[in-house]
Structure 1
Amino acid sequence: MDPFEARDAYVFDYRMHEGSAMKVSHHFAGHTGMPVAIQTWVIEPGGFEGFHRHEGQAALQEFYQVLEGQATMRVGEREYELGPGDSILADAGVDHDLRNTGTDALRVLVVWGPPGDADFSAFGSHQLAQRARAGGVA
């Protein structure tokens, strides 16, 4: 498989969780060698993912990062306003929904897979990230 994929090279229309139609790129069609799916979604103004949760045998953790546009995301009982560069996690079993609240298309990077942990403690970038989160100097 070619290790390069151009933006929107394999985009398709999709509607998930009874939400609005959106454009989806499922990067490398899931053949990354990692236990996650990596997707880019493009949701038009007023569009939404659809309120849902992933639990039981289909339990998934989901990471969202806004690349372009403005959004509101409900996770559990809380609602968050998101803009370019903002990230949010939806834990397995927690209700969530993403909505485009801007006037332009919303482009979001979404990474999802089964819940679990990985040990990245040997990597310097991980160590610095932990220090930054603890309020220490990075």
Structure 2
Amino acid sequence: MKRTEYSQVEPFTTKDGSTIRELMHPNNIGSQKQSLAEATVPVGCKTLEHRHHEVEEIYHITAGTGLMTLGNDVFEVSAGDTILIDPGVGHKIENTGEGELKILCCCSPAYSHEDTELLE
């Protein structure tokens, strides 16, 4: 069985500045082609604009509200929204709410620092 327990997953900070918990990743649980992480962006903070050259990413907002920049588009997001981020597209997200902004991030292939290029 391949399973993670949330309380056992240690958070870390990615290149874009968000705090991540890798819930499923080839390096820790044995998924083969994708990863699933929970990102937390504190009140008043934002991630650095970045892009991934190989990774297709899906953001699913589970809590909070924010302002998403996706290429040239800027739009509001809130709990329940899902955003597809194609490889090569610059993106960042800002917490504009009064509580933590929490995002499930699904990456295929799995997330890696090496595939992340900071744009600011």
Q: Normalising by structure 1, what TM-score?
A: 0.69
Distance 1:36 1:29 in 2: 7
Higher strand share: 2
Q: Tell whether the 8 Å contact from 1:45 to 1:100 is kept in structure 2 after alignment.
A: yes
Higher helix share: 1
Distance 1:97 1:51 in 2: 5
The Cα of 1:70 is off from its aligned counterpart by 0.6
| Structure 1 gap segments, 5+ residues each | 115-138
Which structure has the larger Rg?
A: 1
Q: Tell whether the 8 Å contact from 2:57 to 2:85 is kept in structure 1 after alignment.
A: yes
Of 78, 101, 107, which residue of structure 2 is paired with 1:83? 78
- SS at 1:53 equivalent: strand
The reply on whether 1:51 has 2:49 as its aligned counterpart is yes
Structure 2 counterpart of 1:110, which letter? C
Distance 2:83 2:25 in 1: 23
Structure 1 counterpart of 2:6, which letter? R
Instruction: State the match for 2:23 in structure 1.
Output: 27
Query: Greater relative contact order (Cα 8 A, min sep 6): structure 1 or 2?
Result: 2
Instruction: State the match for 1:129 in structure 2.
Output: none
The Cα of 1:81 is off from its aligned counterpart by 0.8
The Cα of 1:4 is off from its aligned counterpart by 3.6
Indicate the percent of aligned positions where both proteins have the same amino acid: 23
The Cα of 1:100 is off from its aligned counterpart by 1.0
The Cα of 1:29 is off from its aligned counterpart by 4.0
Instruction: State the match for 1:38 in structure 2.
Output: 36
Distance 2:60 2:84 in 1: 9
Q: Tell whether the 8 Å contact from 1:48 to 1:97 is kept in structure 2 after alignment.
A: yes
Q: Tell whether the 8 Å contact from 1:63 to 1:87 is kept in structure 2 after alignment.
A: yes
Q: Tell whether the 8 Å contact from 1:5 to 1:27 is kept in structure 2 after alignment.
A: yes
Structure 2 counterpart of 1:14, which letter? T
| Structure 2 gap segments, 5+ residues each | 110-120
Distance 2:84 2:14 in 1: 21
Distance 2:57 2:37 in 1: 11
Distance 1:81 1:10 in 2: 29
Q: Tell whether the 8 Å contact from 2:57 to 2:107 is kept in structure 1 after alignment.
A: yes
